[in-house]
């Protein structure tokens, strides 16, 4: 895998890492490690397969700057309108969550250097500055994201090295709730935590010279990184804090403060780590929305910049302290956009492909598993919707 593909895998991983890294211990701690781990593995398998379906549709549709183009080429005008509506709702919800979380951290860090910012000022400052990076293009995001991800991995390693000695076996073995319905209801937050597929059309276009096998490996590697990171983070957080503490936190700062008790320098390390995680997620999701707006409205970068960030910023200002609630809403939208829409796209392109030469057909990427895997993916989507309705 060359550096460009590796950077693209890190964009995928960075898009997923962020809100999920912060939310997962708070929503899973009460159910214990066994059930939390099993549910996370189920969500990872389902989201990765759905992402590969979107990759297949993107390749067979000939690429495209955003899902707007892919939907138009595969599902027609009606499918394009539905896909765009879902995508905008999802990306705005995700960016709202990231702006809320990042604003909380910016406010905390600025106060430590003697600069007093209100929550609104912190959110606006973060959005404006980080948005300028997104407007610079995918190449700039790729190069910056590699550096941010390297720093984030270093911070994660330092965090785990500090937290592992303090892990309590009693905390690891504790189960605060055996309510399986409540466990299933956490699926939407977990699913959103693996919501990286929105960047795939942009990365297919960015890596236009890559082989289809390389693109497949790019997606798989990118999805494995957040899975491993989430599991390590979950074990470290649960091992150091009781379930009662974890489920009582309302925002990022409270989680950081609790883990930093009696640990010199830990608060700074965790603040940097969570800040980097939120920033990489913000860059990936904002890139997808920026490219979608560029593809849909065909305006210059300045206009596209305003179109991309005005709604998420206003939403974040109006929904302060609603971090987990916004993630939950995003999870409902993501089920349709990330499971059912790629499935419909893939079925459509496979039907079209049946009329082509077998020699041509054999050269085009297709996700393994056939209709059985497609049926299981449909059931996976139904499971996620049920988790929201029960």
Mean pLDDT estimate for the chain = 83
Kindly indicate the confidence band of residue 389, based on its pLDDT and cuts at 50, 70 and 90.
confident
* Tens digits of residue pLDDT in 150-159: 898 888 888 8
What is the Cα–Cα distance from 339 to 343, expressed in whole angstroms?
Answer: 6
Q: Residue 302 CA to chain centroid, in angstroms?
A: 26
pLDDT in tens, 34-90: 888 999 999 999 999 999 999 998 888 876 556 778 888 888 889 889 988 888 888
> Can you give the pLDDT at residue 355?
61
Q: What is the pLDDT of residues 307-318, one digit of tens each?
A: 999 988 888 888
Domains of the chain: 3-389 (1.20.1740.10)
Distances (CA, A) of 86 to 202, 277, 365: 17, 25, 26
- Most confident segment among 114-123, 185-194, 317-326: 114-123
Residue 279: CB atoms within 10 A of its CB come to: 22
Q: Please tell me the predicted confidence (pLDDT) of residue 359.
A: 46
Which of 75, 56, 90 has its CA nearest to residue 366? 56
The reported pLDDT for the residue numbered 49 is 95
As a whole number of angstroms, the distance between CA 2 and CA 17 comes to 22
Cα Rg of the chain (Å, integer): 20
For 326-384, how does the pLDDT look when each residue is reduced to its tens digit (9 = 90+)?
666 676 788 888 899 999 999 988 888 776 654 444 567 889 888 999 999 999 999 98
Closest CA relative to residue 5, chosen from 273, 196, 214:
214
pLDDT digits (tens, 9 = 90+) for 230-273: 888 888 888 888 777 777 776 666 777 787 777 777 778 877 88
What pLDDT is recorded for position 294? 87
**What is the mean predicted confidence (pLDDT) over 123-143?**
90
Confidence tier at 322 by pLDDT (50, 70, 90):
low
């Amino acid at each position: 895998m060359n550096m460009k593909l590796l950077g693209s895998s890190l964009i995928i991983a960075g898009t997923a890492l962020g809100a999920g890294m912060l939310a997962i211990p708070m929503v899973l701690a009460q159910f214990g490690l066994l059930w939390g781990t099993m549910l996370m593995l189920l969500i990872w398998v389902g989201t990765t397969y759905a992402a590969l379906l979107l990759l297949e549709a993107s390749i067979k549709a000939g690429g495209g700057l955003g899902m707007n183009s892919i939907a138009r080429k595969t599902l027609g005008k009606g499918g394009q309108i539905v896909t765009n509506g879902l995508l905008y709702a999802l990306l705005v919800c995700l960016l709202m969550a990231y702006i809320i979380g990042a604003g909380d951290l910016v406010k905390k860090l600025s106060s430590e250097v003697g600069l007093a910012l209100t929550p609104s000022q912190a959110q606006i400052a973060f959005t404006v500055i980080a948005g300028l990076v997104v407007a610079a293009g995918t190449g700039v995001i790729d190069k910056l994201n590699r550096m941010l991800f390297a720093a984030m991995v270093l911070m994660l390693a330092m965090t785990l090295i500090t937290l592992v000695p303090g892990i309590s076996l009693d905390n690891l073995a504790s189960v605060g709730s055996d309510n399986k319905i409540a466990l299933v209801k956490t699926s939407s937050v977990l699913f959103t935590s693996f919501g990286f597929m929105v960047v795939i059309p942009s990365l297919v276009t960015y890596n236009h010279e890559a082989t289809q096998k390389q693109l497949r490996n790019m997606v798989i590697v990118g999805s494995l990184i957040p899975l491993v990171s989430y599991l390590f983070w979950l074990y470290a957080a649960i091992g150091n804090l009781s379930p009662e503490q974890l489920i009582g936190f309302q925002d990022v700062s409270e989680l950081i403060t609790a883990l930093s008790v009696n640990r010199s320098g830990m608060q700074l390390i965790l603040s940097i780590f969570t800040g980097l995680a939120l920033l990489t997620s913000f860059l990936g999701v904002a890139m997808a929305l920026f490219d979608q707006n560029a593809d849909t409205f065909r305006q210059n970068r300045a206009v596209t910049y305003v179109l991309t960030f005005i709604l998420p910023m206003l939403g974040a200002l109006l929904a302060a302290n609603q971090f987990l609630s916004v993630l939950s809403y995003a999870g409902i939208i993501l089920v349709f956009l990330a499971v059912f829409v790629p499935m419909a796209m893939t079925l459509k392109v496979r039907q079209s492909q049946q009329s082509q030469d077998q020699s041509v057909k054999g050269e085009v990427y297709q996700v393994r598993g056939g209709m059985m895997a497609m049926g299981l993916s449909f059931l996976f989507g139904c499971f996620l919707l049920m988790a929201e309705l029960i």
